[in-house]
Structure 1
Amino acid sequence: MIVILGGGYAGLSALSENSNAILVDRKSYFTLTPWLIDFVCGIRNETEVKAKYPKVIKGEVSKIDYKEKRVIVGETEIKFDKLIVSLGHHQNLPRLKGAKEFAHKIETFEDAVNLKSKIETSKNIVIIGGGATGVEIAGNLRGKNVTLVQRRDRLLPTMSTASSERARTLLEENGVKLLLGTEALEVKKNSVVTSNGEIKSEVTVFAGGLKGPSIVEDFGHTNKNHRMIVDKNLRSIDYRDVFGAGDCATFSNEDIPMSAEVAISAGKIAMRNALGEENTFIPRRTATILRVNNFFFGDFGNSYIEGDMAKIMRGLAYVQSLVLPARGVNV
């Protein structure tokens, strides 16, 4: 029996390759995490960012016994022959002083609901982080005083220069105050202290600092920033019958990109290898498309795209997310 821990993009992709596997998750629904920002900003509703799992054992994993090959979920013991760990990512809030107490993250649907409620009743919003998450939140909030604090000298540092420049132009046109080359030093209840002074903030959003889930380290895996280390076949370097896929896993000599697209590909390879194949996983990120208001832009391979083509790419990615849960159903 193959057991999958975590029903995000990698977990459901793995399940779609073998519907006889057992899926374990702490919740009963799949979250379309890349579109939580759309929910927070009022572009999509709850039914558009959540989908019921085709099948799942709901509960928190409290123990993994690798010697006896069993997983303990609440009061239930689940035996496995092979195990796929696909537990996603967490945001590393504690690394910034005051962030754990006063900053809002956007990691789960519950986080998104809480943040949406806070933003609706507030005027002054500060976003820490100028990656894709920070840019999309800042660019899609209407009627607010939005400040974006970015430690680097440019937005979208992992994307093309064209995307970075377009993001800057769009945000400035929408009235977002950009503090580039500025480090957030501390989050307080009603302000953010930066290297360029203190900013008033009713709601502070932490849009960076991704790491693997702490449970990876707790369960005894060799890890890097709480991401379990896997070989080129996505097999754990610690346990031969354990595989890692998605944001919770990475290589020792290079980082696997954290994205839904890469996670879907990893889930497929992890399951195929758990079934006895020996496929090498080569992470490929085809497209990263952002939306600011109704303008779509981003990177497709090594090229910058915008407008209708970018909108189509974004739409296809959303449809793929919606289809994923259905593909795990027994037929």
Structure 2
Amino acid sequence: MNITFLDSSTLHHKNDLDLSPLKQFGDLTLYETSSIEEIATRIADAEIVITNKAVLNKELIEGAKNLKLILSAATGVNQIDLEAAKAHDITVCNVAGYSTPSVAQHAFTFLLNFATSIPKLDSEKQQWPQSPIFTRLDYPAFDLQGKTLGIIGLGAIGKEVAKIAQAFGMNVQALNSSASSAPSGEIPRVNLEALLKTSDVISLHCPLTEETKHLINRESLSMMKSTAFLINTGRGPLINEPDLAEALDKGIIAGAGLDVLSVEPPAEDNPLIHSQHPNLFITPHTAWATIEARHRLLDGLVENIKNYLAGCPSNQVV
């Protein structure tokens, strides 16, 4: 099989991950990145194409006459024209679940940073010798125990975050648009207004849909406690970014931890990138990218090819 990985640099950095297991299935060609103009030539003879973010639109899929299998090196498949793939009898598979512990860990790291002020204290360590007392109370910490975490999107990652929160003694509630009660012993479900008004921290783990796009906006932010924090390790467009920047500037909420933005890499004029708010933490979409998660992702790609060749595709989207 001719196998082409269009953006292998999204899976490994400075060869910290060995991609050679993919070679067992045929001739492997790796491209660090691929522009839209380069893709047609690069997949012309490919039977299997792997892509994380490189776009495979209808025209490109139709032009790849030998293409049989498209693998998304991710859970999302929005970079692939699924209708075109289906029309040309091309199988599409993704890899699900590989980043669950990593993303949950990252989300909770944001929360611990809010609670302890460690980043701010560490950045000012040179001021400790000048303190008139043995400590510095410039950035008082707070306990997570007894605080309420509101989760929007109680899938695998949301449940993992809930489990960590409960271990810290937090109360956990989750969004249920119908506001139906959960069975005894499970996480209680509340409607959006109740979740916004009663949560000390809100963490976003829901998929991006027409209904959830800009779910967090000026109106929803105004319902949150002024002491509340917002965490987003889901999808950038869940948040209206100018509205969030305004809410932070005006003290409407206390802070935000973001691993995703609406455009990535972000535009230079993104209002959040230039914010000086002390409780705004932004990481460059790295929550998923622990070495262990990337190993699991590679294993998933290998398994998908193996199962496809055996006639029983796994994680099949199309």
Q: Same fold (TM over 0.5)?
A: no
- Structure with higher Rg: it is 2
Higher relative contact order (CA 8 A, sep 6+): 1
TM-score normalized by the length of structure 1: 0.27
Counting helix residues as a fraction of each chain, which structure ranks higher? 2
Structure having the higher strand fraction is 1
